[in-house]
Structure formats: C-alpha cells, structure tokens
Amino acid sequence: MAPVMEGDLIRQDASTLSAALAAGEVTSQEVTQACLDRISQVDNDVHAFLYVDSDAAMATARDIDQRRAAGEELGPLAGIPLALKDVLTMRGVPTTCGSRILEGWRPPYDSTIVERLRAADVVVLGKTNMDEFAMGSSTEHSGYGPTRNPWDLERIPGGSGGGSAAALAAFEAPLAIGTDTGGSIRQPASVTGTVGVKPTYGAVSRYGLVALASSLDQAGPCARTVMDAAMLHEVMAGYDPRDSTSINAPVPDVVAAARNADVRGMRIGLVRELGGEGYQAGVREQFDNAVHVLTDLGAEVVEVSCPHFDYALGAYYLILPSEASSNLARFDGMRYGLRAGDDGSASVEEVMARTREEGFGAEVKRRIMLGTYALSSGYYDAYYGQAQKVRTLISRDFAEAFDQVDVLISPTTPTTAFKIGEKVDDPLAMYLNDIATIPVNLAGNCAMSVPIGLASEDGLPVGLQIMAPAQGDDRLYRVGAALEQALLDKRGHALIEEVPSL
Amino acid sequence: MCSWSRGSKPSCKDEGMANITREQVQHLAHLARLELTEEETEHYAGQLSAIVDAVERVSEVAADDIPPTSHPVPMTNVFREDVARPGLDRADVQAGAPSWEDDRFRVPRILGEE
C-alpha cells in the first residue's frame, strides 16, 4: 500500500498527519520534534511564539504514542501539534495576553478549550503572540515585540492573532487556535494565506478565555486547510455550563460539510457594502476571480445590500471599548500579575493607577479611556445606546440577506499585509483593517476566511470571507472547501506552498 | 485606502467637531485608574478626539424605535446545577499573587491619611 504521507513532516496538513499516525507511518514524537526543530530554526525571525514548552510537548506526544501502541482508540487529532493563542488559560503555563501586566503569571486553571484539547490528545506546543489583550490588527501592540509575516518579514501578520497565523504559515505548527472579537482570526488568516474561522457566538466556550469584549469574543480554529479547521472546530465546539452564553444545541457537522465541498445550487450573496472603492486593486481582482470560480462550480451569485454595515465600524468602536474598559478593570495589581509602586505608603488606588500605567500599552489605554468616555453619564445614550441600536439593525440586515441567500461573501480585508510600523500610532487607519469582519461579530453569526490567491501588485495573500447565519457553521466549510479545491485544481498546488523559504 | 465614511474623502485626521481636552483625558484616566504622563495626556487628547469624531457616525442612523442589542444570542436566567465544585488550589493562587501574607492577599492601605 502506498504511504499516506510524502515529503517534509512540517509541511503536512493535520488530516494527512492524522491518517499517517493512525497507519503507524509516523509517531507523534516525530511530528512534535519536527515542529519544535522548525520553531528553533525560524522563530527568532518570525516571533510567532511567546512561550514554547518542548519537554511538556514531547512528554504528551510520548504518552499518546504509547497509548496508541497499546491499542487504545484515539481521536482524529490525537498526537497532532497545535499553537495556542496566549489569551487562553492553561494550568501552570504562562498566559500573558501579550501584556506586561500578566508577565510571568501562571493560571491556576485550564480553559474549557484546553480541557477539550487535552481530551482529544492534541499536543500543545506553546503560546502564540498577540496584540495586547487582543486589541489590534497587526500584533505590533504586543508587549513583547511584533510577530512577522512569513510571506515578507517586513510586514505584519495581522492581528490580534498574528502569532497563531504566522505559526501556520511558517510551518511551525499544523493547527492553531485564535480568538475573534472583530476579525482577530479572519484578518490574520487573510494576510498570511491561511484558513481561519470565527464560529457562531456561543459555539465555543469562553470559560478561561481572558475577556476583551464579552458579547463579541469567540474562539475558533486556524489551519492551513479547510478540512483541518473543521477537524479542530469539532474538537473545540460544544455546550459548556461554565459559560452562560454557551449554546446548548448540537454542533453542526462541519467535517462532513468540508468533505461534501459542493456548492451546486447554493445561493451566494455578494455584499455590496463590503467591496469596491477603498479595497486594494489586487484584492478586488482576486475576489472577482474567486466569484467566477464559485459560479463555474454551479453556485448562483447575486448582489445583496446590507445598508447598515456602513455603520458597523462606528458601532463596534463604541461597544468594544465600553466592554473592554469594564473587563480590564480586573487588572488592579491586587490578586495576580504586576503590582507597581507599592512602597508601603502609597494607597491602593495609587498602586492600581501606577500598575495599570506601567503594565498596559498605548492601545489598551486608548481603548479603556474611549470606553470610559462612551459610558459616561451624558454620553451614554448618544454613544453606547445608539451603537446598540445600530447593532440590532446590522443583525436585521443579515436576517434579510439570509432570507435571499445561503451565505454571503466579501474580501476578508481591504488590503494585503502592510509594513510593520506603518499604522502603529494611527488608530483610525488600523481600525479600518477590520471593516469587513466586524459586522459578523456584532450580529453573532459565523464566518471563515479562506485564501484565494496573491495580489498582483505585491504578491501577498488575499482572503475571501464567507458569512453564514448563526448555527450555520457547516455552510462555511462547504463553500470554503469547494473553493479551496477548485483553486488547488487550477493552480496545481496549495497557495501556502508559495511562502518564501525562511 | 478605505475610509470610515463611505462615499466621502478618506479621513484619518483630526478635523471634526469632537474636542476632548487634556483635562478631560486626565479625568478619564483617573476614572480608569491610569496614571498618565504629561506627554501621553497630550497625545491621547488628539487621538481620542479623532476617534470620537469617526464613531459619531452612528448618530446618523434613525433608530429611535429600534430596540438595543446588548448580546447577540438573547438568553435569560441561565442556570447550572447547584452542585459543589472544587475551588482554585490555594498554593497556585498564592504563587500568582503579587504579595501574600498569612494566607491572604496583602494589599496596600485602603483608607486615606486623614
């Protein structure tokens, strides 16, 4: 029988590794060691990881190999390495959220996601870099230095989950986990040529996910292929009584949908408000090309209008800072993390203010103050209250659109990856990167970014966003997998194979 | 490239109506327990004014009769089983505390001098 796997271990996708591990062609220790070696080789340049625990990863891999050898029935992702965003707690493993205020803190408990990864025997390699408390679109706002885009080390890998996306594109890990509050999974996926999914709000437990904006945050899978994302999605998602917003309903069969990969007869809506003017020419070109591919595959593509999406960015930058300023009040220097200025005479309030001044970076301070402003008496109705009404109107736009079509599509981001430093002190320019991804977070439905090609002007990856109704996550995988396969057939290889060697 | 207000000229400059003064920034910083430097106060005054100008666009939407959404999945009275569960391990919590004394978090004085 022909081997399942050919070529370099680090370049294999998770589904191939899964088959090879099951067939006994390779061990988890070999796969894990290959990833660890790759990390030592390239991560000085990429800086995707904030923490790597080689010994723990190898011990987990060894245990899984032994259990497999003993004939134990293991899950499909057993023995496969994964990079975990540093915003999810893992007992005894440093969790900084990219912030100096949590430097050195080791959480006393596992997030539900980590519990599920352990139960599925996934090998966690370490924790990935991110914009501080997930506030940013470039990973430049990390308190520990930026992550670089493997496609061009002078450019950003997106954010806030730039570390997770870069780890995939640099072949440091076949799977990663991100969190998406306004695009932090999808935008990094788009600019690194990888796949990222924001599941339906409530699909994946938020227990142990350090909160940015509780009504928007959602963790999801990141991978190099749509099928790999589906396999990870299946492991992560499901009801959790420890998260009061968790959906108590069966998880849609996303793996079957990725296998189905058939868009014949599907109705796909092009969102008029997300595209055209303001989007880079090469992004539009690749997007138009992908639309033709979908039509050729037998989907019916029509234009749909979602008029209130034009106000999504404004509503988001009122709602998010408001929730963030409340959530981040917990970092007071009393129970965990940094404490500054406790000289024996300073009061608790002075110590709090000094701790937060020293521990938080510029973007976090900006958003805390913006949220404090939006929630002030006298401004509350005009800002926060009005933003919540706009949120209702955006949900209604989605509902009307999904009466006409099965999924909506748009470019994931208006541009390809920009240069490090270009927008770091220009918040309004930075916020625009998430203009197409934010509406989904506000409405709580689900979306995926799938790579579609390279922009002609700069040779950098472009992503297409697929949006589906709440609990319709399977549709994302059906469309994403169909598009991925058709583009692979045309190109003759996966787009990710074109990443320059590091 | 892209702009905050569709159809109009891209604008990322501080040119609008909102004017958040240095004093207001200091007040916000105090409310949020941030001890800003002079330089930061100046810098944030300009930036926050520009951001508020941009987000103020939400007021253009006629939404008087629209109910607000605080949460994308409306749920109320979510309960779990009332069963005892183990709390956090004390040694782990102590290890993460910035200051610890007699099995408790040690905190700075909480009352004023007077």
Q: How confident is the model at residue B9 (pLDDT cuts 50, 70, 90)?
A: very low
Which of A23, A74, A448, A81 shows the shortest CA–CA distance to A229? Answer: A448
pLDDT at A151 over 60: yes
Residue A204's Cα: distance from chain center in Å?
A: 13
Residues B112 and B114: their CA atoms lie apart, in Å, by 6
Q: Is A485 helix (H, G, I), strand (E, B) or coil?
A: helix
- The reported pLDDT for the residue numbered A485 is 98
Q: Is A160 a catalytic residue?
A: yes
Name every residue whose Cβ is closer than 8 Å to that of residue A80 and which is 6 or more positions away in sequence: A14, A17, A18, A21, A28, A31, A122, A123, A174, A175
Two structure tokens written together for A5 = 């796997």
Question: What Cα–Cα distance (Å) separates residue A144 from each residue in A101, A123, B83, B98?
Answer: 11, 24, 41, 21
Domains and CATH numbers, chain B: 11-61 (1.10.20.60)
- Determine which one of A184, A246, A325, A410 is catalytic: A184
H/E element holding A411?
strand A407-411
- Say how far apart CA A242 and CA A368 lie, in whole Å: 27
- The reported pLDDT for the residue numbered A4 is 79
Task: Look at strands A219-223 and A175-179 and give their pairing.
Answer: antiparallel
Look at residues A249, A25, A227, A210 and name the one whose alpha carbon lies nearest to residue A113: A210
pLDDT given for residue B14 in this prediction: 41
- Going by C-beta distance under 8 Å and a sequence separation of 6 or more, which residues neighbour residue A498? A193, A454
CA–CA min distance B84, chain A (Å) = 13
Element (H, E) at A466: strand A461-468
Task: Determine the 3-state secondary structure of A52 from DSSP.
Answer: strand
Calculate how close chain A gets to B51, using CA atoms only, in Å: 7
Which pair of structure tokens corresponds to residue A129?
Answer: 């870099």
pLDDT at B76: 85
Strands (E), A214-334: 219-223, 267-271, 300-304
What's the DSSP call for residue A176?
Answer: E
Is A96 within 8 Å of A250 (Cβ atoms)? no
In A, minimum Cα distance to B106 occurs at: A334
Q: Does B84 touch chain A (CB under 8 A)?
A: no
Nearest to B36 among A329, A357, A372 (CB): A357
In this prediction, residue A377 carries a pLDDT of 85
Helix axes A473-491, A281-296, angle to 10 degrees: 100
Q: For residue A350, is pLDDT > 50?
A: yes
Check residue A309 and give its pLDDT. Answer: 97
Can you tell me the mean pLDDT for A106-123? 98
Backbone φ, ψ for residue A168 (5° rounding): -70, -50
The Cα A185–Cα A449 span in angstroms is 8
Span A280-313, pLDDT tens digits: 999 999 999 999 999 999 999 999 999 999 999 9
Between A265 and B6, name the one with better pLDDT: A265
Percent pLDDT > 70 in chain A is 100
DSSP annotation of A185: T
Coil, strand or helix at A133: helix
Helix (H/G/I), strand (E/B), else coil: A492: coil
Using the predicted structure, report yes or no on whether residue A320 has a pLDDT greater than 60. yes
What is the structure's pLDDT at A219? 98
Contact A230, A253 (CB under 8 A): no
Residues in B closer than 8 angstroms to A278, CB to CB, are 1-3, 6, 10
Closest by alpha carbon to A89, among A97, A100, A80? A97
Q: What is the pLDDT of residues B97-112, one digit of tens each?
A: 999 999 999 999 998 7
Question: Tokens 């999904």 map to which residue?
Answer: A402
* Two structure tokens written together for B10: 């891209």
Of A127, A481, A229, A430, give the one whose Cα is nearest residue B54: A430
Can you tell me the distance from the alpha carbon of A182 to that of A430, in angstroms, rounded to the nearest whole number? Answer: 12
In angstroms, the Cα distances linking A467 to A96, A196, A251, A411 are 31, 12, 17, 11
A180 band by pLDDT with thresholds 50, 70 and 90 = very high
* Sequence-separated (6 or more) residues with CB below 8 Å from residue A307: A273, A397
The 3-state DSSP class for residue B87 equals coil
Helices (H), A158-210: 162-169, 186-192
Q: Which residues of A touch B88 (CB under 8 A)?
A: 108-109
Q: Among A346-360, B15-29, B36-50, which is the least confidently predicted range?
A: B15-29
CA distance, residue A275 to nearest chain B CA (Å): 10
Q: How much is the pLDDT for B7?
A: 44
Please tell me the distance from the alpha carbon of residue B72 to that of residue A128, in angstroms, as a whole number: 28
Burial of A417 (0-12, 13-18, 19+ CB in 10 A): buried
Helix (H) or strand (E) holding A488, with range, is: helix A473-491
B66 burial via Cβ count (<10 Å: 0-12, 13-18, 19+): middle
Q: Which CATH class is domain A9-310+389-498?
A: alpha beta
Q: What mean pLDDT do residues A248-264 have?
A: 97
**What is the average pLDDT value for chain A, to the nearest integer?**
97
d(CA A412, CA A199): 15
Q: For residue A373, name the pLDDT band (cuts at 50, 70, 90).
A: very high
Q: Which of A85, A127, A198, A423 is catalytic?
A: A85
Residue A86 · residue A131 · CB < 8 Å? no
Query: Chain B residues with CB inside 8 Å of A92's CB?
Result: 92
Q: In chain A, which among 102-141 make CB contacts under 8 A with chain B?
A: 105-109
Note the helical H segments in A276-385. 281-296, 312-327, 348-359, 362-374
Quote the percentage of chain B above a pLDDT of 90: 66
Best of A198, A343, A389, A430 to disrupt the B interface (most B CBs within 10 Å) is A389
Output the six-digit token pair for A434. Answer: 């998430």
Q: Which of A231, A238, A257, A177 is nearest to A209 (CA)?
A: A177
Dihedral over Cα of A175, A176, A177, A178: its sign: negative
- Residue type, position B54, single letter: A
Interchain contact B54–A (C-beta under 8 A): yes
Residue with tokens 């996910």: A209
Alpha carbon of A38: minimum distance to chain B alpha carbons (Å): 32
Instruction: List helix spans (H) across A172-212.
Output: 186-192
CA dist A312 to A390, A436, B29, B58, Å?
A: 7, 9, 27, 8
Q: CB A350 to CB B108 under 8 A? A: yes
- pLDDT at position A6, please? 78
Q: Is A127 a catalytic residue?
A: no
Q: Provide the pLDDT confidence category of residue B80 given band limits of 50, 70 and 90.
A: confident
- Dihedral Cα A387, A388, A394, A398, nearest 10 deg: 160
Q: Is the pLDDT of residue A447 over 90?
A: yes
